[in-house]
């Protein structure tokens, strides 16, 4: 009986409805070898090529991520932070890496107030914290890599030197940030052409970024944190009145962490612990569990209402409690307690939206982004997310090396009483989160981008699979909502949600802003699934991005079957 149930579950997850009736736009990618899913096809292809050369899932993820920093430079790059979850197919062990950087020692509340700031700057050099991505790559490669470090950067270096044509959504995002780029001399010189963004299909090259990547390939993370790139970063910071010092860079080290989790409808769902917002996704799922979502139609007013109300409760706690746990006591166990979820769920009225949701009192326990997921031929999975936070981050581009620094420090608060208050060597509250879920022989690495959208999008994706029996592509494509404000009843919702459903939500008090059919407002994502019983892999890539899930090529040109017969 158990075997039959497993087969039925797998069929639900991997088989769409009849082709003529299905609602998803893309099919899953299915392969018995590895798959790389990213938000830009050239990066997915680069990762797949690394797999074909015998690289691990981590090798492919690093290569794809480095390439994304070149071909999608407004979203990510060596000037940003990184989080990753790695699942080992042989041992079943899950490992997390927090590569989010800390504030410079001299960047303090008092210093910013002396400059006239009453809130955290959202761009410019004072919003810059230490970029953690390169150190994160090195930690991941040292533990799980197979190929030589330098090999992983060849695709990114190639595209930075030889150029690549701009794709649709990336070009539009680039164009919308023309004014921001014009504010910084380096940014304008590197990323604009005669004051304008490159056009759709135009070949863009960044030889300065190629120089930085070559140094990292040859010298490792030392080039970034102690060597020539560090010196250029410090020079840029000093010129702009920043506080970054040499030891802020050289002392930084990413941290290995244990992912946190909850059980939802038989699935074990994992997220990264604070300082990230992953805990909010798990708290939302615990609230979903108090209601019969499996009995509701997908994207019905009943389902969406409960999910929106759960988001408000979870995010009120997120805003109040989540910070760097090295500096603040974050009540993780309390926030994930099912008894706490049951109490909080009592605040959800099935018939009426609550527009003023305060944080709860859990008992203490003992922007803009890229996301990629990889499964290699052995079934190892990496779920990785990397970001500059806002488009082109702080808009500060490092002298001589052509990459933007993130503005992650903008998520600190200047309220000294808050757990997330700015402090030297403290990591800010972080929006970027990779996800992972498993049930029996099914293992899924997933993630969805978009600032504070991420936790609520994760919860919707998980519910689509666990409550509605969707496969990973349909679960990724299904219309989503995004609660855009911490307070109030304003909600963005995709136009594909039926008009009658939207009317039903408005009748309950939700104030809807209808966005496009496949809107970047609700974020784009990727996912891979590994069936450890059949050894088959599945990939999904969101239509809200320019990317694709690309399978590792088979060695058909070198296999015996391809050789001439004698």
Cα angle 377, 381, 385; round to 5: 135
Say whether 342 sits in a helix, a strand or coil: helix
Whether the CB-CB separation of 411 and 425 falls below 8 Å is answered with no
Whether the CB-CB separation of 242 and 95 falls below 8 Å is answered with no
Say which of 129, 243, 262, 369 is annotated catalytic.
369
Cα–Cα distance measured from residue 131 to residue 99, given in angstroms and rounded to the nearest whole number: 8
Residue listed under structure tokens 């946190």: 260
Cα–Cα distance measured from residue 524 to residue 202, given in angstroms and rounded to the nearest whole number: 24
Would you put residue 393 in left (φ > 0), alpha (ψ -120 to 50) or beta? left
Tokens of 288: 């979903």
User: How distant, in Å, are the alpha carbons of 37, 165, 264, 286 from that of 228?
Assistant: 33, 30, 48, 48
- For residue 525, list its beta bridge partners: 448
Cβ atoms < 10 Å from Cβ of 171? 19
Whether the CB-CB separation of 89 and 445 falls below 8 Å is answered with no
- Is 369 an active-site residue? yes
Cα–Cα distance measured from residue 402 to residue 262, given in angstroms and rounded to the nearest whole number: 42
| 349 CA to centre of own chain | 32
HEC string for 133-167: HHHHHHHHHHHHCCCCHHHHHHHHHHHHHHCEECC
Cα–Cα distance measured from residue 279 to residue 259, given in angstroms and rounded to the nearest whole number: 10
HEC string for 12-72: HHHCCCCCCCCCCCCCCEEECCCEEEECEHHHHHHHHHHHHCCCCHHHHHHHHHHHHHHHC
Q: Which of 16, 76, 20 is nearest to 43 (CA)?
A: 76
Cα angle 92, 29, 156; round to 5: 80
Whether the CB-CB separation of 173 and 524 falls below 8 Å is answered with no
Whether the CB-CB separation of 458 and 446 falls below 8 Å is answered with yes
DSSP 272: P
Q: Active-site residues: which are they?
A: 369
């Amino acid at each position: 009986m158990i075997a039959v149930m497993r087969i039925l579950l797998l069929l639900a997850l991997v088989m769409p409805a009849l082709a003529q009736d299905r609602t998803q736009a893309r099919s899953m990618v299915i392969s018995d070898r590895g798959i790389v899913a990213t938000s830009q096809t050239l990066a997915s292809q680069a990762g797949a090529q690394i797999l074909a050369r015998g690289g691990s899932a981590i090798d492919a993820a690093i290569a794809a991520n480095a390439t994304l920093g070149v071909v999608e430079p407004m979203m990510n790059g060596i000037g940003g932070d990184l989080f990753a979850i790695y699942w080992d197919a042989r041992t079943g062990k899950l490992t997390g890496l927090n590569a989010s950087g800390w504030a410079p020692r001299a960047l303090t509340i008092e210093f910013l107030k002396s400059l006239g700031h009453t809130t955290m700057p959202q761009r410019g050099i004072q919003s810059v914290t230490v970029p953690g991505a390169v150190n994160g790559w090195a930690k991941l490669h040292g533990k799980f890599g197979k190929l030589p470090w330098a090999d992983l950067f060849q695709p990114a270096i190639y595209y930075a030197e030889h150029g690549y044509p701009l794709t649709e959504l990336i070009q539009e995002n680039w164009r919308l940030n023309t004014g921001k780029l014009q504010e910084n001399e380096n940014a304008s010189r590197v990323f604009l052409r005669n004051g304008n963004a490159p056009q759709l299909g135009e070949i863009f090259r960044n030889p300065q970024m190629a120089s930085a990547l070559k140094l990292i390939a040859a010298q490792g993370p030392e080039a970034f944190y102690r060597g020539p790139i560090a010196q250029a970063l410090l020079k840029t910071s000093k010129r702009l009145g920043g506080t970054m010092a040499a030891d802020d860079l050289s002392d930084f080290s990413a941290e290995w962490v244990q992912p946190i989790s909850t059980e939802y409808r038989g699935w074990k769902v994992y997220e990264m612990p604070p300082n990230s917002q992953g805990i909010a996704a798990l708290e939302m799922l615990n609230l979903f569990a108090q209601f019969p979502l499996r009995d509701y139609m997908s994207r019905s007013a009943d389902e969406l209402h409960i999910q929106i109300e759960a988001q408000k409760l979870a995010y009120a706690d997120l805003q109040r409690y989540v910070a760097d746990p090295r500096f603040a006591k974050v009540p993780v166990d309390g926030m994930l307690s099912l008894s706490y979820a049951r109490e909080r769920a009592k605040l959800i009225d099935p018939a009426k939206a609550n527009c003023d949701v305060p944080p709860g009192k859990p008992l203490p326990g003992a922007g803009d982004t890229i996301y990629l997921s990889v499964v290699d031929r052995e079934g190892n999975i990496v779920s990785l997310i990397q970001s500059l936070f806002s488009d082109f981050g702080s808009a500060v581009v490092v002298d001589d090396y052509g990459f933007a620094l993130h503005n992650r420090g903008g998520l600190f608060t200047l309220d000294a009483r808050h757990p997330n208050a700015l402090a030297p060597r403290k990591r800010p509250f972080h929006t970027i989160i990779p996800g992972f879920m498993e049930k029996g022989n099914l293992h899924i690495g997933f993630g969805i981008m978009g600032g504070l959208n991420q936790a609520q999008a994760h919860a919707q994706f998980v519910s689509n699979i666990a409550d509605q029996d969707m496969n990973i592509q349909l679960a990724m494509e299904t219309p989503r909502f995004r609660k855009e404000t911490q307070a109030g009843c304003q909600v963005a919702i995709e136009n594909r949600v039926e008009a009658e459903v939207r009317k039903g939500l408005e009748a309950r008090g939700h104030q809807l802003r209808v966005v496009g059919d496949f809107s970047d407002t609700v974020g784009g994502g990727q996912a891979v699934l590994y069936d450890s019983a059949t050894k088959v892999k599945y990939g999904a890539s969101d239509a809200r991005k320019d990317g694709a899930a690309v399978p590792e090529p088979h060695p058909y040109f070198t296999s015996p079957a391809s050789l001439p017969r004698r």
